[in-house]
C-alpha cells in the first residue's frame, strides 16, 4: 500500500551541483526522465571562482566570475541551495584525510564522502528519494575509479541510493534503477578522462553554456597553492580563515621560520591585501609603480632590509636605482630606500613546489 502511494508522487532527486558540464547534464538527463531535480552546492571556502569574485580583477570576464551552480540551476529551472561548510571543512577534511591526498593537498575521497554525508542528511528535508552526482568512472585518478566510487557510496551511508547517471551502464544497478524510477537503459555509460562523450551528449540535450576549460573549482589540487599550504602548516600551529584567504593571493616568500612576505601580483591583489594590514606590516611602493606587500611576523632589522629589497624588485625601475617604500606596522610608519634584490637571491625565499 505504501509503495502504491509513493508511486503516485513525482520522484525527486537531490544532486551535488557544481555547475560544470558533468553535473549539469546529469541533472538534465534525470529531468528528461520526469525526475524532479533539486540541487545543493557545498561551499568549502577553497573555490577558485569564489575568490575571483572577491578580488575582482579587471581582466576577469563576467562569465568567469559567475556562480556556475546558480547558473546551471537557472538554465534548467530547478532550485539549488548554496551551503557553507567552510567553518569545519578545513579541520575535518583537509587536515586529516583518511584516504590521503592527491597530487596537491586535495583529499578528494574524503571530500566526496563528507559532502555526500551532508547530502544524505538533507534528503528528508527536501523530500528526495535518492542522490545523484556528475561523477564519471575513470575521469579523476584519485576519486573516480571503481574501488573509490564504491568506498564513497558505502562510507557516505548512501549505498545504492547514490546514482551516477553519466556512468550508470558501467556501474552496479542502484535503487532508483531497481525501483524503476529511472530507466537504466536510457542512461549513458561514459568512462575515462576525455570529455568528447559529455560534449556530444550536451549538444544532444541542448546544454550549451558551461565553463571551459574543465578542471574543477578547488584550489587544493593546485601545486603552488599546496606548497603554500604545506609551508603554512609547517610554521604555524593554528590556521584561521584569513590565513587561507592569503594563500590564494600573491607571491609568497618564507624569510624565516617566523616571518613571511606576500607580494601582490596586480592592482586588484594589491587593493585586496590592504584588508590584511591589521597585525601585519604593510609595504607600499612610493613615487613609482609597484606592488603592495604584507609582512607577517616580528621581523628584525636584517629581515626588514631583505623584505624591502624583495618588494623593490617588483617595482618599476627609477633613474637612481633606489625604490622608495613605506613600511607601516601598527602605529609605526617609516620610509625605506632600497636597491632591488637580485632575482636569483629572491628565489631561495620563494614558497614553491619542490
Answer for the pair 103, 223: CB distance below 8 angstroms, yes or no.
yes
pLDDT value at position 58?
66
Q: Torsions phi, psi of 227, nearest 5?
A: -65, -40
- Distance between CA atoms of residues 286 and 277, nearest Å: 17
Alpha helices in 184-286 (DSSP H): 196-205, 223-235, 241-247, 267-273
Q: Which residues of the chain register pLDDT less than 50? A: 1-6
The whole model's pTM is what? 0.90
Q: For the chain, give percent helix, strand, coil, nearest 5.
A: 45, 15, 40
Tens of pLDDT, residues 34-57: 999 999 999 999 998 888 888 877
Would you list the domain boundaries of the chain?
A: 2-205, 223-347
Answer for the pair 158, 131: CB distance below 8 angstroms, yes or no.
yes
Contacts 24+ apart (CB under 8 A), 110-117: 111/44, 111/143, 112/143, 112/152, 112/156, 113/151, 113/152, 113/155, 113/156, 114/85, 114/89, 115/16, 115/42, 115/85, 116/16, 116/152, 116/156, 116/157, 116/158, 116/162, 117/156, 117/157
**Locus of grid cell 537503459:** 185
According to CATH, what is the number of the domain 2-205? Answer: 3.40.50.620
- Distance between CA atoms of residues 215 and 234, nearest Å: 28
pLDDT value at position 4?
39
pLDDT value at position 212?
58
Tens of pLDDT, residues 296-309: 999 999 999 999 99
Q: Locate 314 and state its grid cell.
A: 617588483
pLDDT value at position 60?
67
Amino acid at each position: 500500500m505504501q509503495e502504491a502511494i509513493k508511486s503516485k508522487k513525482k520522484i525527486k532527486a537531490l544532486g551535488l551541483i557544481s555547475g560544470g558540464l558533468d553535473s549539469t547534464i546529469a541533472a538534465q538527463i534525470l529531468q528528461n526522465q520526469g525526475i524532479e531535480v533539486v540541487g545543493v552546492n557545498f561551499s568549502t571556502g577553497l573555490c577558485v571562482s569564489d575568490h575571483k569574485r572577491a578580488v575582482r580583477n579587471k581582466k576577469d570576464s563576467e562569465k568567469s566570475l559567475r556562480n556556475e551552480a546558480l547558473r546551471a540551476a537557472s538554465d534548467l529551472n530547478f532550485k539549488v541551495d548554496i551551503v557553507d561548510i567552510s567553518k569545519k571543512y578545513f579541520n575535518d577534511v583537509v587536515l586529516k584525510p583518511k584516504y590521503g591526498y592527491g597530487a596537491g593537498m586535495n583529499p578528494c575521497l574524503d571530500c566526496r564522502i563528507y559532502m555526500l554525508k551532508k547530502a544524505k542528511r538533507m534528503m528528508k528535508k527536501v523530500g528526495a528519494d535518492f542522490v545523484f552526482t556528475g561523477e564519471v568512472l575513470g575521469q579523476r585518478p584519485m576519486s573516480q575509479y571503481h574501488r573509490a566510487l564504491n568506498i564513497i557510496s558505502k562510507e557516505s551511508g548512501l549505498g545504492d541510493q547514490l546514482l551516477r547517471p553519466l556512468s550508470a551502464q558501467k556501474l552496479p544497478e542502484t535503487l532508483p534503477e531497481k525501483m524503476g524510477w529511472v530507466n537504466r537503459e536510457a542512461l549513458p555509460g561514459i568512462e575515462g578522462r576525455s570529455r568528447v562523450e559529455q560534449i556530444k551528449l550536451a549538444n544532444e540535450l541542448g546544454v550549451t553554456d558551461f565553463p571551459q576549460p574543465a578542471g574543477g573549482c578547488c584550489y587544493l589540487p593546485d601545486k603552488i597553492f599546496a606548497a603554500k599550504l604545506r609551508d603554512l602548516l609547517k610554521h604555524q600551529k593554528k590556521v584561521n580563515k584569513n590565513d587561507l584567504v592569503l594563500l590564494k593571493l600573491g607571491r609568497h616568500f618564507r624569510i624565516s621560520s617566523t616571518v613571511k612576505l606576500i607580494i601582490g601580483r596586480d592592482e586588484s591583489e594589491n587593493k585586496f591585501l590592504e584588508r590584511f594590514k591589521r597585525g601585519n606590516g604593510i609595504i607600499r611602493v612610493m613615487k613609482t609603480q609597484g606592488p603592495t606587500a604584507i609582512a607577517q611576523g616580528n621581523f628584525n632589522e636584517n629581515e626588514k632590509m631583505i623584505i624591502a629589497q624583495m618588494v623593490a624588485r617588483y617595482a618599476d625601475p627609477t633613474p637612481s636605482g633606489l625604490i622608495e617604500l613605506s613600511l607601516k606596522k601598527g602605529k609605526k610608519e617609516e620610509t625605506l630606500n632600497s636597491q632591488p634584490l637580485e632575482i636569483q637571491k629572491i628565489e631561495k625565499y620563494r614558497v614553491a613546489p619542490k
